[in-house]
Each structure stands twice: as C-alpha cells, then as structure tokens.
Amino acid sequence: MMTQEPSNKPRHPLHDLSPKLLELTEDVLFGDIWERPTLSKRERSLITVAALVATYRPIQLDGHIERALNNGVSKDQLIELMTHLAFYAGWPAAFSAVEVAEKTFKRLNQA
C-alpha cells in the first residue's frame, strides 16, 4: 500500500466533511480544467469572477478575486467587470461583489 507524502499545505476546513468534493476540486477543476491551454488563466479568472458575480456566489468570490489578481487581472478591471455586470446580473449582485472585492483588497493589503 502506498502512503501519501506529507504536505505542508494546510488542510481545507471542509476536508473531514467532504473529502471527495475537495479531491475533485483540486484534481479535476484546478488540476485539469484550469490547466487547459485554450484559455489563459487570466481569461479563466475573468470568466469565473463574472460567473460568480452573476450567480451571486460571494463566499467563493473572495478566493477567485485573489486568484484573478494573481493571474494578472487588475483591481480596476475587476471593479469594471462588476460595474458592467450590474446591468446584466442585477444591481444587488454587482454591489455585493464590489463589497466582497473591497474586503479582499484590504485582506491582501491592496486597498
């Protein structure tokens, strides 16, 4: 039987509750889909943030705003995306997304 090598990566808080969901997230979503070459990671970040704003998913939005910044999307571009989506996804969704972005920028010392 193979033993898994120890990781310095902290365990996700939901690991014990839903290990399979986290495995699929890491292996399939981030290990495969995000690595496909047809779209850049920057483009995938813009698409993902837009989808999360449009479907009102603020809990996941924080991490994807951080990922987008790491993938080369600027703060101004993220705010412009949210402003643009106010007309397509609704004012409350866009306004809430800007509030999440503000908290994320502050958390990352990018306010």
Q: DSSP secondary structure string, the chain?
A: -PPPPP-SSPPPTTTTT-HHHHHHIIIIIITTGGG-TTS-HHHHHHHHHHHHHHTT-HHHHHHHHHHHHHTT--HHHHHHHHHHHHHHH-HHHHHHHHHHHHHHHHHTT--
Type of residue found at 26: E
Tokens 């809990």, residue located: 59
- Class of domain 41-107 (CATH, top level): mainly alpha
**Residue ranges of domains in the chain:** 41-107
Q: Provide the pLDDT for residue 110.
A: 86
pLDDT < 50 positions in the chain:
1-3, 5-6
Reported as a single tens digit per residue, the pLDDT across 6-22 is 456 667 777 788 889 98
